[in-house]
Structures are given as structure tokens and as C-alpha cells.
Amino acid sequence: MTRRKQNEKYEDREVSAFRSTDLTGEGVPARVLLAPWGDVESSNGSFVVDDESARLALDAFDDHATDLPIDYEHQTLGGTYAAPSGKAPAAGWVKRMFAETGIGLLAEIEWTEQAEELLASKEYRYLSPVAIIRKSDRKLVAIHSAALTNKPAIVGMQPIVNREQSHHIAVQMAPLQELRKELCLSENTDAEEVLAAAGRRLTELREDSKMRRVQARVEEAACAGKLVEAQRAWAEALVAQEEELFDEWLRTAPVVVVPGATRPPGGAGLTQGREQSATNRARAEFRSNPLLARLTTESAFVSDALRSHALRSTTTSRKAGNHQN
């Protein structure tokens, strides 16, 4: 990029320091709110945080490829912020930045030992990020750095880590945390990934429900004596694709076995049909119970179910043979 283009790029932007987080809650927070969502009023000028600005800020953080510094009183900016000694020691580092729609830009912070002591003794109260604001539409497009300060700038900004505000944020994020837990995702999984995983899980549940419906209808026909084991795969496909046609077939089909006797004389086709039914039932059970996913895999669960099925079949056959003898 030429010097002229660089100048044109930054002519539409301004640097603004503002207060984001009150750090007077219990303990030293490792996760803080950098900038709240929506229209933000600040004594240094208002700005906007929305989906676009969040995306741009996260892209800028990723492009920077290093942790963002947290200093004291914005000393890294120099000029009027510079310390008499000329030094700008770090109070911590922004290790990760992420966004929560409706909440704002958040960061995970690693504090220095000195900063932890100052925060614990309440000698510093606020975290004030330095934002890059696009002049044309007043959108936040990047975070330059942050500082521990006792000079807040955002008008009416409520604390995030004291008891009242922590409860408010926790209430907003509780459903997302529950989804992470239910889907066995880590606490650091982004909201978009959580929602995508939830969508996939809903699709699986719909498929499971459909499979259960198919199995129930096929069992209904078998118990009525209108379906033999060799027809099971055909019947399952028909119910899944055209249940109304299956209803019509079931209404007009003749009884071919004694009602309730769903197991005609054995054979290779019968054995395969029984194994397929056992497989379908095992898959449906696994997918309908999220706890099983934390204990084993679907393939392992199905394999174990098939082994149990084979063992029961062998035991039943032996008993039947002994009875005939």
C-alpha cells in the first residue's frame, strides 16, 4: 500500500480512549467487556458497535497476530499521556477477543502480577480501551490497546463485574452457556459455532423422530400380521417417503401371518432384517440421549447393541432347541 493510500485510509478514522469496564467487583476479572453493543455515548464522542464493527475489530485483532497491550493511563499513546519517565509498563495483555451479539466486544486478559495487586487493592477501577473509530459512520473498527485508569469516559456505562451487572450479563449469556454444555462444547466456543452446532443437533433430532415414527408404523403392520420380515426394508422406505401410501397399503393388505407373530421362518434375509432393526433402534437411542455422546461414540454404541442382540438370539435359539428335544 502506498503512503498516499495509507493516509487516505486513516483520514477517515480517529483514535478514541473510553471507559468500558468497571473493575471494582470481587476478584480480578479474566474476561471483560471492551465495548458494549449498539450506540455508545462517550465524552470523547459517540460510536456504534454492531455486527460489521465487531467483524472488523476481530479481523484487525487477528491480522495483528500478537497480544494487545494493556498499560496504565494510556502511557503507550505517548504525547500528553506519556509518563515523566518515558516508560509505559504493561499491566496485562489481551490474549483473545470475541464478540457476543447484543452484548458487545469481549476480551480474555492475562494480567501482570503488579496489576493484579493494584486491582485487588482497588487502586485502579476502570479498563479504558483505545478504539479506532471510522468517521464516516462512527463505527468502531478496531481496538488499538487498553489501559487501567480512574478516568471513565463512556456516559452512563454500568459495571460489568460487580454483582448487579455480572448477574445481568450472566442472565443474557446463560442460554448460550447451557447450549455449550448440552452440546459438549468448550466454554470458549464462539456464539456462531454454538448456534451452528445447535442447528445440526436439531436436524439430528428431527431425523431421530422420523426414524422412530417409521419404526413404529412398521411394527404396527408387523403386529397386525400384514408384514413379514423380508418386507421390512421396503416398508420403512415407504413410510419415510410416502406415509399416506403406506396407510393405504396397510388398510388393504391381507393378513399373511398370525397377528402378533412377527417372526416367520428364519433364513439369511430374516437375520439381516433383524440386525438392521437392532441397528436402527440403537442409533435412535444414541441420538435421542445427549449423555451417551459424552460416554462413547455412536459406532461403538451400535456395535455393542449388535453384540447384545446376537447374544440374545443365540440364547433364544438354544432354549428353543432344548425345548424341542
Give the pLDDT confidence score for residue 93 in this predicted structure: 92
Q: Residue 193: its pLDDT value, please? A: 80
CA–CA distance, 117 with 10 (Å, rounded to integer): 38
Least confident stretch, 18-22, 33-37, 136-140: 18-22
Whether residue 214 sits in one domain with residue 144: no
Lookup: cell for 75: 502511557
Higher-confidence residue of 193 and 50: namely 50
Full residue range of the structural domain in which residue 49 is found: 13-161
Quote the distance between the C-alpha of residue 69 and its chain's center: 28
H/E stretch holding 315: helix 298-324
Whether residue 204 is contained in a domain is answered as yes
Q: Rounded to an integer, what distance in angstroms lies between the CA atom of residue 191 and that of residue 166?
A: 19
| 51 and 59 Cβ atoms separated by less than 8 Å | no
Residue 59 lies in a domain: yes
Q: Does residue 70 belong to any structural domain of this protein?
A: yes
> What are phi and psi for residue 267, nearest 5 degrees?
165, 175
Local confidence band at 22 (pLDDT 50, 70, 90 cut-offs): low
Greater model confidence, 266 or 138: 138
What pTM does this model have?
A: 0.44
Contact 228, 195 (CB under 8 A): no
Please report whether residue 173 resides in a domain: no
- 150-199 pLDDT, tens digit each: 766 544 333 333 334 444 444 445 576 777 777 787 777 777 787 888 88
Alpha-carbon 81 to chain mean position = 41
Q: How many domains, in total, are found in the chain? A: 2
127 φ, ψ (degrees, to nearest 5): -105, 125
CA distance 53 to 34: 13
Angle separating helix axes 232-241 and 191-223, nearest 10 degrees: 130
User: DSSP E strands: which ranges in the chain?
Assistant: 13-17, 21-22, 31-36, 38-40, 47-49, 68-72, 92-100, 104-111, 126-134, 139-149
Beta-bridge partners for 32: 107
pLDDT digits 0-9 by tens, 120-130: 888 888 888 88
Beta strands 68-72 and 139-149 are parallel
Q: Do 142 and 198 belong to one domain?
A: no
Look at residue 19 and tell me whether its pLDDT is greater than 80. no
**Cα gap 171→279, rounded to integer Å:** 41
Q: Phi and psi of 146, rounded to 5°?
A: -150, 165
The larger pLDDT score, comparing residue 272 to residue 217, is at: 217
According to the model, what pLDDT value does residue 16 have?
67
Q: Are residues 77 and 24 in the same domain?
A: yes
Whether residue 186 is contained in a domain is answered as no
| Residue 157 and residue 196 share a domain | no
DSSP letter for 76, please: G
198 and 298 inside one domain: yes
